[in-house]
Structure 1
């Protein structure tokens, strides 16, 4: 039987000890992050330019994979540097590591593959320590101490016995209690609710869709979570799109501020909501660009491809790396403090319509969502494009959709996207989630 809420002393020492034991210099990384944050705007601009040039020169001189990929470039002309794609990285890790880098001396992990191109990546230990320093820094904006605060974790979990027990032990030693999200039935959500009554959680962290479903459960019970768990301070959602309507629902029924987290395991924390509700981009360890189809920067406010450079990773190059998402910058942001205005989905989730028009797949989800959830009957749904003119909406609900509701959905799609679309609606008990517990809101099965 695991202890669900260990003492702060144990967590504090375990967190620091584990990072140090594995060779991640967390104290050095934290000091460096503080130094970057303390720079004036002019000094920051100079520092950023130097770090961009330094990382390019390092990989040109020390990484054969990157040198071959960008042979002949002028590193001083940033916009001439080729954009790195995920498909470029789908080759053995050994071929992509920098000279003299041993797999035993770096942090290695694998991307989730949600963008369609999974691959293994590496970070040098200082870069990975910087990631942890960034997380601690951003959490502190909302009064959360990663070493002490008690987390309600809405995540997936390995289903094999050894993996399950290992993850539960890790949770108990990391001051968090996990709510596995593969079973989100009414009975299971009621069990979740009872845990919040009994446990002094400081914050919620986890996949957006699962927490939204829990909020709908609370709405159905007509109970605000903060009223039964007064220690709760904030909810942090991650890994999936956060729509404005869902954010309002979460705020209303959780009773705490909602923080949006956007990150990538191969890079770092990319953007994080501050206390003013601005989606602040990580300019300390990353250089984030938004580019058009010709790999040129777009004006602030215009949507483009999100392309990111890891400014410190010497084990593996991520220079002008197309992460596979679309977004736009807020015109009010600065070089030192960029603000993400919008995050509009993945570039591979593009729907090709019969008239030849291309639209972001989440457009279908967003338009449908505005109709399908008006009466709070539908709890979750996903959209799949099966042909250029055919879409399937699979949903869970307390009662089946009525004929008029189905007609309203079809009319909404035609209003925004054109006529001649065939729509099928399938009601199910539960929606299938990925192995990690994520819910993919839109999928297209159509190739160009």
Structure 2
């Protein structure tokens, strides 16, 4: 088979051969060589942007840039100005890869990568998927993603899917009739792997559970499933493993950077230390010890078109105690920094707390398909849910009790049953929203 995927990137002037060769070199470094490589790349990228990027120069100002800890932490608000004002010298919209972030953090912006940096992103994707014998040129992907609804955008994505050897399941309608259609594709196509948004793939697994079907039994070519973009909870992972009959791999990435962490064969969430440098910082921008939670701050070591140096991605996480510079392990991804509920007592609680609580109770009988929680007032929360039958008073009481136990008493809950939940224009489901 023609390596269409590599060819399509090469034709768009992404130097894949050079990128793959450089990545192979980095992966082969000894621990000592890798430490030196990271230090050199950090200094090199800062020096480059101070020389060639007025936006970054202004951000750093008169700070002593020789000391890494003195460099400013870049946030998404800094980046909400026209891209042309943020590009480096000799880089333009024409000669760079330009895209938009999904805005799942509530702060979307446009970004750029130089062509070599973007080629490295693909090389690093290919390398990690290769751990599971997936080859982008030959393996057939079942893709659970959104798709543009306008004619040209839609056709463009479908053409990209063709070149990338993948079949796209649009996730904007996930009713049983549509999922039945999905299932028929698995009966007739030889998919090698599944890739896409966690919430949609979990819904498909619940549909299979109801029909008592294990996916690998009707599609024996399936090897692995990679979920991305939304939190994967332990009980969902167990459900996916059971209903798909294949390994489930958790990936964590950001379009403006790269794959940030990818589950390795040992089940650890291995952080990308080839093209990125990841720090976990406290509110004073100081490193926290491994095993402690903090803000995930990332430096893109190769992007010369646009500075992502000490970039606060808006997520909270914990690095494992056994992490090294060459092999950092993400012990836990706690969620987004802006998904925090502020309670009447002044207590702050990550939105995921509600999600864990309600999920553990709602999951029992498989009636509730999915739900989302909105904080509408300091003491009031709306729980929107999709289910076969309405929640009864006993279930509602149980949820209220559990939330009181985890959070605090005297909170008000409004339960709203819906046909479907609102997703972002890309098809992502944001599981907790504060309207305050």
Q: Distance in 2 between matches of 1:302 and 1:282?
A: 19
- Out of 364, 382, 388, which is 1:398 matched to? 388
Partner of 2:75: 85
Q: Distance in 2 between matches of 1:228 and 1:268?
A: 34
Mapped contact 2:380–2:411 kept (Cα < 8 A): yes
What residue is the counterpart of 1:43 in the other structure?
Answer: 33
- Give the alignment's TM-score, normalised by structure 2: 0.98
1:230 to 220, 231, 239: 220
In the aligned structure 2, how far is the partner of 1:376 from the partner of 1:299? Answer: 40
2:93 aligns with one of 77, 96, 103: 103
Query: Which residue pairs with 1:273 in the alignment?
Result: 263
Could you list the runs of 4 or more consecutive aligned residues of structure 1 that deviate by over 3 angstroms after TM superposition? none
Residues 370-424 of structure 1: per-residue CA shift (max 9 Å, x gap)? 1111111111100111011111110011111111110011111110001111011
Structure 1 counterpart of 2:230: 240
Aligned pair 1:71/2:61, yes or no?
Answer: yes
Q: 1:103 is paired with a residue of what secondary structure? A: coil
Work out whether residues 93 and 121 of structure 1, in 8 Å CA contact, stay in contact via their aligned partners in 2. Answer: yes
How far apart, CA to CA, are the structure 1 residues paired with 2:38 and 2:372? 41
CA contact (8 A) 2:5 2:165 kept: no
Identify which of 323, 327, 347 aligns with 2:317.
Answer: 327
Equivalent residues of 1:156, 1:180 under 8 A apart: yes
Question: Does residue 286 of structure 2 align to residue 296 of structure 1?
Answer: yes
Of 50-59 and 155-164, more deviation after overlay is shown by 155-164
Matches within 5 A, 1:384-395: 384-395=374-385
> How far 1:72 sits from its partner (Å)?
1.5
202, 209, 216: which is aligned to 2:192? Answer: 202
SS at match of 2:396: helix
Aligned to 2:277: 287
Q: Aligned equivalents of 1:223 and 1:117: distance in 2?
A: 40
Task: For residue 283 of structure 2, give the secondary structure of its aligned residue in structure 1.
Answer: coil
3-state SS of 2:365 partner: coil
- 1:373 aligns to what SS in structure 2? helix
Alpha-carbon distance in 2 for matches of 1:162, 1:71 = 44
Deviations 1:241-288 (A, max 9, x none): 111111111011111100111111111110001111110000000000
Give the C-alpha shift of residue 167 in structure 1: 2.2
C-alpha RMSD of the superposition: 1.0
Q: Which moved more, 1:207-216 or 1:329-338?
A: 329-338
**Distance in 2 (alpha carbons) for counterparts of 1:186 and 1:163:** 27
The Cα shift of 1:172 comes to: 2.5
- Match of 1:309? 299
Please give the TM-score of this superposition, normalised by the length of structure 1.
Answer: 0.96
Shift of 1:133: 0.1
SS at the partner of 2:125?
Answer: helix
Find the aligned partners of 2:22 and 2:149 in 1 and give their Cα distance.
39
2:410 pairs with 1:410: no
Q: How far did residue 102 of structure 1 move?
A: 2.0
**Partners of 1:172 and 1:49 in 2: how far apart?**
40
Question: Structure 1 CA distance, aligned partners of 2:160 and 2:122?
Answer: 17
SS in 1 for 2:112: strand
SS of the residue 2:226 aligns to = strand
Aligned equivalents of 2:269 and 2:27: distance in 1? 17
Give the unaligned 5+ runs of structure 1: 1-7
Q: Distance in 2 between matches of 1:73 and 1:32?
A: 33
Cα distance in 1, alignment partners of residues 168 and 256 from structure 2 = 24
Residue aligning to 1:214: 204
Residue deviations 1:8-45 (CA, integer Å, cap 9, x gap): 32xx1x22222122111111011111111111101110
Q: Deviations over 1:138-158 (max 9, x none)?
A: 000011001100000101111
Cα separation, 2, equivalents of 1:31 and 1:162: 35
Q: Confirm or deny: 8 A CA contact 2:297 2:313 kept in the other structure.
A: yes
Q: Distance in 2 between matches of 1:167 and 1:384?
A: 32
| 1:331 Cα deviation from its structure 2 partner | 1.1
Q: How far, CA to CA, are the matches of 1:47 and 1:267 in structure 2?
A: 19
Show CA shifts across 1:94-114 (max 9, x none).
111112222211111111111
Q: Distance in 2 between matches of 1:140 and 1:289?
A: 26
Aligned to 2:11: 21
Native 8 Å contact 1:53 1:75 kept in 2: no
Matched residue pairs, number?
A: 436
- Measure the CA separation in 1 of the matches of 2:149 and 2:10: 30
Q: 173, 190, 193: which is aligned to 2:180?
A: 190
**Alpha-carbon contact 1:154-1:207 (below 8 Å) kept:** yes
Three-state SS of the structure 2 residue aligned to 1:135 is helix
CA distance in 2 between partners of 1:242 and 1:124 (Å): 32
